[in-house]
Amino acid sequence: MNREMYCPFCKKDFKMEEKPFHWGEGVVALGFECPKCGEFLLTEKEHRKAVRTASNRSMLTLSRKMFKLGRSLAVRIPLDIAQKLHLKPKQTVELYTNAGTIIVKPN
């Protein structure tokens, strides 16, 4: 199903095709992929459903797409996770890398 959706990153409406998004560990949500930046946008209902499934399974990891921010790469932390861990904007975090993984540890 095609639908006109607003991409908050491109700040523009696009016609987007609905498709399944695999969050990881078998959690699938229906959403829309922005044709310009590639960000995957979920409706609020699908987002809540996926988060509920993930938290029922005590999952700590969800698949997210990185995006360019200046010369760096950035990843968005879903609001549910930010609230669960009491994360606030401008709070500092420590980054650890080991064996191809990154751990983000709030201070």
Task: Please report, as ranges, the residues that interact with Zn ion according to CB under 5 A.
Answer: 7, 9-10, 34, 36-37
**Shortest approach of Zn ion to residue 37 CB, angstroms?**
3
CA nearest 42: which of 66, 21, 65?
21
When the beta carbons of 53 and 67 are compared against Zn ion, the nearer one is 67
Indicate the residue among 36 and 65 with the shorter CB distance to Zn ion. 36
Kindly list the distances between the CA atom of residue 23 and the CA atoms of 38, 63, 69, in Å, as whole numbers in the listed order. 15, 5, 22
The Cα 45–Cα 105 span in angstroms is 29
Tell me whether residue 49 is exposed, middle or buried, using C-beta atoms within 10 angstroms of its C-beta: 0 to 12, 13 to 18, 19 or more.
middle
Smallest gap from Cβ 31 to Zn ion, in A, equals 13
Q: Nearer to Zn ion by C-beta: 6 or 63?
A: 6
Q: How far is the CB of 17 from Zn ion (least distance, A)?
A: 14
If the CB atoms of residues 5 and 27 are measured against Zn ion, the closer one turns out to be: 5
Q: How far is the CB of 34 from Zn ion (least distance, A)?
A: 3
User: Which tokens belong to 80?
Assistant: 């549910």
